[in-house]
Structure 1
Amino acid sequence: MTEQTATGPLTTEAGAPVADNQNSETAGRGGPVLVQDQLLIEKLAHFNRERIPERVVHARGAGAYGTFTVTADVTRWTRAKFLSEVGKETETFLRFSTVAGNLGSADAVRDPRGFALKFYTEDGNYDLVGNNTPVFFIKDAIKFPDFIHTQKRDPYTGSQEADNVWDFWGLSPESTHQVTWLFGDRGIPASYRHMHGFGSHTFQWTNEAGEVFWVKYHFKTDQGIKNLTQAEADELAGKDPDSHQRDLRESIERGDFPSWTVKVQIMPEADAANYRFNPFDLTKVWPHEDYPLIEIGKLELNRNPENIFAEVEQSIFSPHHFVPGIGPSPDKMLQGRLFGYGDAHRYRVGINADHLPVNRPHATEARTHGRDGFMYDGRHGGAKNYEPNSFGGPVETGRALWQPTTVSGTTQETEAPSHAEDNDFVQAGDLYRLMSEDEKGRLIDNLAGFIADVSRDDIAERAINNFRQADADFGKRLEAAVQALRG
């Protein structure tokens, strides 16, 4: 293999030099991401088209239908109709997945789990596309293709390479918190039923009066947390690659319907500007002592899909599928996903993917002026396909789904505004110190076993140093464990 050498500046596909490959362009410091950011759009669009026909990420998955039931009055915070009264039920479809593996990979692996939930509401579909962790590896979507490339197969070896993984993580200290989660006890759930789910991002809720609140979603498993050790997972993955999918299907078949208690954290809009760290940073959690969990509902899965391809593989979820009373935040990862997911679906499934039974609204009807294209079913007949028209076509409501966000400043590639505790390591250290000695020991063993596989000492040292920054004991024990394995 020939060693790669730098021969000039990083460029766009058109050859223009790239000034900043770390930060996407925003409307003012901390404002929404701009469509005019050529590099962001180019990277995300190119990334979405790298594989066909399976998903580039989250290819391996399982799904089920269910019901969400409201258990508490939340109308003081949001005007979303499906949350409007206690006892109200909404049909749902939930797809679980692993992130990095392909369609034929095993379920019992160390990897975040996707937790993508579709609410079939009377105001259209609301998609909450989250994970089984409350944080993520990066905070800006412009780095997402780079990150996933390190988790996928190396272009030369055709295998996942420890060098690539730890080179990126070591050079991206913001990943330290999520990596600590991933290599801890919860890194390999025993089943999809025995793990929590999170919206992960911060979202906007708006009430009837137009007041804005920032919200985070938590889905707490009623089955209890249950995990696998690395040794248990290695054995199970070899014996039954379909373990998690099988467990979910069989539990529903026997009437043992899995459920989650749904809770939220609520932050008044005014709190965000002076909160001790950036509340829109996906690598951070909001401590519960600052914003306690508030129970709002119950999610139950009670019906299996009839056809995996039609209902699980062809299902699509997009963070831009909002309903009145719910909207986005300035979270830069979320902002990129608002484009990236819809673009992936249009490429992978087709421009009319929303017409498929699993994806179309169940409690209302989609009324658009979109026509033709691959898989178009002719549902509109001879109706006019433009607006405005005088032939009785659908018209705009004049009321936005969410409240606007105030921005100021110049358009530029920039990091989000800095808050008092915006540190890449503090929450990873907090998480480590919450663990028991046994949990710490397993975390160290899991990390050391992977870091020891890298070929260069500088990559290993840089990776260890991030954990040393989080907690001195964490770094010291990890360094000793890696040295023991590397000899």
Structure 2
Amino acid sequence: MTMAGRRLWVTAAAAAVVVAAATAAAGHPGSPHAEGPYTSEFGTLVGDDRNTLSAGPRGPQLVQDTRAFEKLARFNRERIPERVVHARGTGAHGVFESYGDQSALTRAGFLGGAGRKTEVFVRFSTVIHSKGSPETLRDPRGFAVKFKIAEKYGGGIWDLVGNNLDVFFIRDQVSFPDMVHSLKPDPVTNIQDPNRFFDFFGALGGAATNMLTTLYSDLGTPATLREMNGHSVHAYKLISAERKVTYVKFQWTSMQGIRNFTAAEAMHMQARDFNHATRDLYDSIHSGKNPSWELRVQVMPSDRMYKLDFDPLDATKRWPEWIAPFKTIGRMTLNRVPDNFFQATESVAMSPGTFLPGAIEPSEDKLLQGRLVSYPDTQRYRLGANYADLPINRPVSPVRSYAQDGAGNNGAMKGTLNYGLSMTMPTFPTTHAALFSESKVCDVVTQAPIPVTADFAQAGELYNSYNWRERANLIANLAGDLGQVRSMLVRNTMCSHFYKAHKQFGRRIARAVDCDMKVVKKMADALDG
């Protein structure tokens, strides 16, 4: 080493010692010390967390300050991919308490008696908009509940994943990517465009009419997360100990009542606070006013499923109460705000594919069947193969599987046996009661729509149930977006769908967006249903 090199090294080292000593002497004014010394992620002591090691106080930084690089490298990598849908979320911990014994419907132990309590985590969300978007925007609200069931009640996780609205835009999984793409920002301008999504909805042929009549009412802009209901949207199967199958839909009924914003109120709130819904929920919990919802089910015997004038497995349809009355089976109360947003709300992995075989199972709903695969697949992409090991997703009951490897594995599964079938080593026994329910499949394998679509009747009934103010708001909200559509073909098509649902509805929206009623009526006459 040259003399100049040695002088540089000595100068840099001396400067580092002087700076570290000065920092230690000065301390962090006004900041009380936490218990124990500061360490790196590997537990090594940190001498200075304010100044990077450099060649002199003003010199270039040295690569050997690995602690500084560790800090910056983690910062660059600590975010994970944003959810494709439901990106903007708010989470809370709580507890679910069963009201009684539902063993006649299901062998799910946590519903097997009054007073049985189950830990839950709830994630509310908007569907289409990005992670930092305002909470006031018109959008369905995700209402997903993760039940962490104690071992004495059977154990495991059940995710009840739904929305605040009781129907959906589409009925088949194959259209889901197209729907989301149409509602997402334009890939050229990065701006959401009604020309795109109404083009898609028009091309669907009427399937979205019920959902649009719901979404563009004030239900599409709930005032708070506490003051909205949740719906499973899909039908599910409950299986009793006797292997009897009953179809059900679930609803969370807000004990705070229902309150929605008008479009004007939503705009006013957005100008004041675009985090209002999260703030309201957390303020409520912090003040001890813990919000609660009752869980209700609609029950439909399997032998009645195909005797209706609509398909009860169609996600674009609701089950009228006169056909399937509600039964209240429990109550959920949210009582704790997460300690860390990322570790809880951002890392929680909700999936309808997480259910209780032999107790609560998915129905044959063609949209639900796709979600069973796509939801866990996107969680593995976002969080890794071992996302179930994350504390927010981990069951409170024991996990006994043969999964060992992969990033994020917690090391709970050890030993040489990682293949499950063995003649020489003990393996975990299976549980006969957890066998899937049986059902007969006697049909042609085909790509075909459901036989009865009935796209317009329920939308008309819903419009008829609105009072004059609700109807006026629906028309104004719809016209605000549909009126931006440049294509008269798309505009007339959408108006024909609304006219087919309810003539007054169609006439009013057609007048509001300057459609030709002669054309609208002719198009409506050509529609089925």
Please show how residues 94-243 of structure 1 align to structure 2 within 5 Å.
Answer: 94-122=122-150, 123-172=155-204, 173-243=206-276
Report the structure number with the largest CA radius of gyration: 2
TM-score w.r.t. structure 1 length? Answer: 0.86
The whole-number CA distance in structure 2 between the counterparts of 1:459 and 1:230 is 24
Equivalent position of 1:88 in the other structure: 116
The whole-number CA distance in structure 1 between the counterparts of 2:352 and 2:427 is 27
After the TM superposition, which of the residue ranges 103-112 and 394-403 deviates more from structure 2? 394-403
The whole-number CA distance in structure 2 between the counterparts of 1:401 and 1:468 is 48
TM-score w.r.t. structure 2 length? Answer: 0.79
The whole-number CA distance in structure 1 between the counterparts of 2:120 and 2:282 is 16
Alpha-carbon contact 2:241-2:433 (below 8 Å) kept? no
Alpha-carbon contact 2:351-2:376 (below 8 Å) kept? yes
Task: Using the TM superposition, give the Cα deviation of residue 282 of structure 1 relative to its aligned residue in structure 2, in angstroms.
Answer: 0.4
The whole-number CA distance in structure 1 between the counterparts of 2:146 and 2:337 is 15
The whole-number CA distance in structure 1 between the counterparts of 2:310 and 2:162 is 21
Q: Deviations over 1:146-199 (max 9, x none)?
A: 000011011122111111011111122110001111000211000100000011
In structure 1, which of residues 73, 77, 80 is the aligned counterpart of residue 101 of structure 2? 73
Q: Deviations over 1:371-393 (max 9, x none)?
A: 21121222213252111234333
Equivalent position of 1:426 in the other structure: 457
The whole-number CA distance in structure 1 between the counterparts of 2:80 and 2:167 is 28
Letter in 2 for 1:479: A
Alpha-carbon contact 1:326-1:401 (below 8 Å) kept? no
Gaps (5+ residues) in structure 1? 1-50
The whole-number CA distance in structure 2 between the counterparts of 1:427 and 1:372 is 50
The whole-number CA distance in structure 1 between the counterparts of 2:414 and 2:427 is 13
Secondary structure class of the residue paired with 1:274: coil
The whole-number CA distance in structure 2 between the counterparts of 1:360 and 1:417 is 41
The whole-number CA distance in structure 2 between the counterparts of 1:443 and 1:215 is 30
Please show how residues 458-477 of structure 1 align to structure 2 within 5 Å.
Answer: 458-477=489-508
Alpha carbons of 1:262 and 1:294: their partners in 2 closer, same or farther (altered >3 Å)?
same
Alignment of 1:480 with 2:511, yes or no, is yes
Length, aligned pairs only: 430
Alignment of 1:408 with 2:436, yes or no, is no
| Aligned-pair identity (%) | 41
Gaps (5+ residues) in structure 2? 1-78, 516-529
Alpha-carbon contact 2:386-2:406 (below 8 Å) kept? yes
The whole-number CA distance in structure 2 between the counterparts of 1:434 and 1:243 is 30
Secondary structure class of the residue paired with 1:174: coil
Tell me how large the CA RMSD over aligned residues is. 1.4
Please show how residues 298-377 of structure 1 align to structure 2 within 5 Å.
Answer: 298-323=331-356, 324-362=358-396, 364-377=397-410
Equivalent position of 2:66 in the other structure: none
Equivalent position of 1:385 in the other structure: 418
Secondary structure class of the residue paired with 2:513: helix
Letter in 1 for 2:178: D
The whole-number CA distance in structure 2 between the counterparts of 1:417 and 1:438 is 36
Letter in 2 for 1:259: S
Task: Using the TM superposition, give the Cα deviation of residue 53 of structure 1 relative to its aligned residue in structure 2, in angstroms.
Answer: 0.5
Equivalent position of 1:451 in the other structure: 482
The whole-number CA distance in structure 1 between the counterparts of 2:507 and 2:378 is 43
